[in-house]
Amino acid sequence: MQQIKLNPRQRASAEFLYGIACTISIPGAGKTLTMATRISLLIKKHNVSPESILGLTFTRNAARSMQEKLIPILNEEALRVKLMTTHSFAYSLLKQEGYTFEILSGTEQIKFLRQIMKNLKIRHIPTGLVLSEINLSKSNMVSIEEFKAVHADNETMSAIGAIYDYYEKSKKKKLLKDFNDLLLETYNLLSSDDEVREKYHRTFSHILVDEFQDTFPLQAEVVKLLIYNGKRTSFWVCGDDSQSIYSFTGGNISNILNFDKIFPDCQRFILDVNYRSTPEILDACQKLIDNNVKKIDKKLQTNNKSGDKPVIIEAANEDDEAVQIVNEVKALTQKHGHSYEFKDIAVLYRANSLSRPIEDSFKQHDIPYHIENAQSFYQRFEVKVLLDYLKFIDDPDSHEGDEALGRVLNIPNRYIGKTLINELDEYCEKNNVSLYEALKRMPINLPYLKKIVRKFVGFMGQLIKDKDQLEPAEMLYLLREGLEYDKFISDDDVPSIDNSKMDNINQLTMVAGKYKNISDLINYTETFREEISNNKEGVSLMTIHKSKGLEYPVVFLIGLMEGMLPHKQGEIEEERRVAFVGMSRAMERLYLSHPIVYSGKNMKRSRFLDEILN
């Protein structure tokens, strides 16, 4: 086995053999390397069978990354180690035990819930909110009965309780399971069947869990049932309480804070040497996180050479903030300057909507970029739909306008099915007319559908008639109001601070305010081509949550204002941890920026900046 260079604390954690251990790791301290080394030592040094090692990760990407680290050390044995997420593990366990079911997820789950709400005649509650409450209840092991009892005095939550009940019964009839059902069923099976539980105790003698700070109660309970406290077994977890940022999906920081109370005989290791960042960046991170009360005390240390202090950027507004960042990026990437490449730079933000001004400025200055694991602003569904409406209204008789209308004809849902769409296509072809003309002329037999189409045609006709008298922002306002678009968008929007569709369409309305006619706005948004906005060699743009586990020589953390970071909907200590995660991605240079005015409103700069500067 090749020798892997670890520091004494990493080595002690990796070489821990039997029993229960918790490894607390500061950012950039080699947690993944330590976990990979531990697995390789178990196999190569202690002759543990690869099949008896279970490594649970927070994401599938993390599982793949771990396996890639093991392959050079273990060769084919690396492929025999069970590395997966808790949900994947639960799925494979249930299938192995003979359970028959299909997975209900994504858009199918939303459709399934929407049908249930229709059956129950509940229309005033967003489907996304219902889904979020159901998921959180399961994550926290709250039964339907408990949910109903807790929310008995709340009309909205009581209605969600009724939907939840119907949802569970409907799934059971159809042999469907959502993702958290996989964990619930696994928990129920392992806790009630001694024989099955003992089988998995014999199968897995060494269990490792990564990112333990982000586990939710249900995950933690499933893992506990897998632990067999035998003579030659181990349960080893790693994580960082200061990077616990997933409470919105059920993540519970107490799982790692109280680990030694849950397992009194556990051994704790602290990896406190950072190999990523300069002392100045770590000093700023330390000053910030020291303000949290719920934490494990640790000192962020590094032997890296000294660098520049974090730079604070104060901007007049979000557009000025973007321009200042463009100027810094240009200076950093000039051949005779610091000679960074674009791919060395990341712009991080609390919410997706904050990418819009940055994308606009980068495009105007030909700075290549890509959005990490997400869509460019003008490619986001809720934005594209409104742009298609504008495209049609601007030129209803053109081929482009016709195609745009075709894309949004049933958005929001007008119950226009495939039959009517086929009839419209035939009518267009036969009479050589546009889709809009076909909607106006073609006879429709079903009275309810005829009424819907007439109303839509009338509404569009008025907007087309008034387009030269209305500015784009005014047109968007009328569209949003007439289509009840905000309600439609909010319905599917699972509550999430970092990806609000409403914030995105508000940003589009702001952009529209800069143009006097629709054509100019459309022409501008059309210039966002793939080669600029999806260039993997360009600057990385992403939410702070998406940046977890990544590192960049240069990081810009933007939008540091009260209400955004910390977010008005977030719990303050978790928001501080979010900022900590963003800052600790930086290796050499860190920029922290805030606009004085955002979306036309005066904003107070984030308290986090004061804590860092104190």
E strand or H helix that includes residue 401: helix 399-408
Tell me, rounded to whole angstroms, the distance of Cα 165 from its chain centroid. 28
DSSP codes of every residue in 174-207: HTEE-HHHHHHHHHHHHHH-HHHHHHHHHH-SEE
CB atoms within 10 A of CB 597: 16
Listed in order, strand segments (DSSP E) in 77-183 are 82-85, 102-103, 176-177
Listed in order, strand segments (DSSP E) in 203-258 are 206-209, 234-239
Peptide bond into 566 cis (omega under 30): yes
Structure tokens that stand for 111 in this block: 């459709």
Structure tokens that stand for 368 in this block: 């290549």
612 near 284, Cβ under 8 Å?
yes
Binding residue per annotation — 27?
yes
Pairing state between β 601-602 and 586-598: antiparallel
User: Is 103 in a helix, a strand, or coil?
Assistant: strand
Compute the chain's Rg from CA coordinates: 27
Binding residue per annotation — 28?
yes
CA distance 420 to 407: 15
DSSP 276: S
φ, ψ dihedrals at 304, nearest 5°: -65, 155
CA distance 611 to 316: 22
Helix axes 518-526, 472-482, angle to 10 degrees: 90
Binding residue per annotation — 406?
no
User: Is 410 in a helix, a strand, or coil?
Assistant: coil
Binding residue per annotation — 29?
yes
CA distance 34 to 25: 10
CA distance 208 to 21: 10
Binding residue per annotation — 32?
yes
Of the chain, the end-to-end C-alpha distance in Å amounts to: 48
Binding residue per annotation — 26?
yes
Bind-site residues: 25-32
Bind-site residues for ATP: 25-32
